[in-house]
């Protein structure tokens, strides 16, 4: 897929860069302050997962403009070790960051659409969408 806007995640500081770019695009699409804050938090989680578990990867943004709907798609990609048991990671309270990180279930709650594809040893791709209402 061809994205116009991506942020490479290599160091912790890049999380801020991803948040910033994501928020700017969200603002342009027309999201209100609460949704902007939610989108930024979801980006943080996704980027932090890359930074913590895969080392490097990228977070890409795409404005969706259909006839009926507008929204923001975020795709987080890495070539890290992958998630062994996605169902387990999606369980509340599983988060390995000591319960403080919202984890993937948090990302799912913050966004409207959520999908994750992970292959062991090949990497993980998380695709989420927030629709403008």
Partner 1 sequence: MSTLKMDLSSYKDLLKQYIETQNEQALYRAEQFSKHSIQQNISPDEIVDVHVQALSELYPDIPDNIMNSMNFLLETMISYGLAYQEYQALREKQYELQSEISVAANMQDTLLSTTKPNLEGLDIGVTSHPAKQMSGDYYHFVQDQKGSVGIAVADVIGKGIPAALCMSMIKYSMDSFPDEQMYPSSILEGMNWVVERNVDPSMFITMFYGLYDQASNHFYYSSAGHEPGFYYSAKNDEFSEIEAKGLVLGVDRSATYKQYETLVETGDMIVLLTDGVTECRAGERFIERDEISDVIHQYKHLPAQEITEQVYQHFERLQDFQLRDDFTMVIIRRDV
* 14: CB partners within 8 A, 6+ apart: 7, 8, 47, 51
Query: Is the C-alpha dihedral spanning 52, 19, 76, 104 positive or negative?
Result: positive
Closest contact distance (angstroms) between CB of 109 and partner 1 is: 5
Q: Applying CB under 8 A, which part among 3-11, 54-62, 67-75, 102-110 lies near partner 1?
A: 102-110
Regarding 21 and contact with partner 1 (CB under 8 A), the answer is no
Number of helices and strands in the chain (H, E): 4, 5
- Of 31, 38, 61, 77, which lies in the binding site for partner 1, with binding defined by CB under 8 A? 38
Closest contact distance (angstroms) between CB of 125 and partner 1 is: 22
Closest contact distance (angstroms) between CB of 106 and partner 1 is: 5
Regarding 90 and contact with partner 1 (CB under 8 A), the answer is no
Regarding 114 and contact with partner 1 (CB under 8 A), the answer is no
């Amino acid at each position: 897929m061809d994205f116009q806007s991506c942020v490479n995640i290599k160091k912790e500081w890049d999380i801020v860069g991803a948040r910033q770019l994501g928020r700017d695009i969200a603002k342009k699409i027309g999201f209100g302050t609460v949704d902007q804050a939610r989108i930024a938090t979801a980006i943080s989680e996704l980027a932090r997962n890359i930074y913590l578990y895969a080392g490097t990867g990228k977070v890409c943004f795409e404005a969706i403009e259909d006839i009926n709907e507008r929204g923001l798609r975020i795709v987080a990609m890495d070539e890290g070790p992958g998630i062994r048991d996605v169902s387990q990671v999606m369980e509340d309270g599983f988060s390995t960051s000591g319960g403080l990180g919202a984890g993937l279930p948090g990302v799912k709650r913050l966004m409207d659409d959520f999908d994750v594809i992970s292959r062991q040893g090949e990497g993980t791709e998380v695709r989420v969408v927030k629709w403008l209402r």
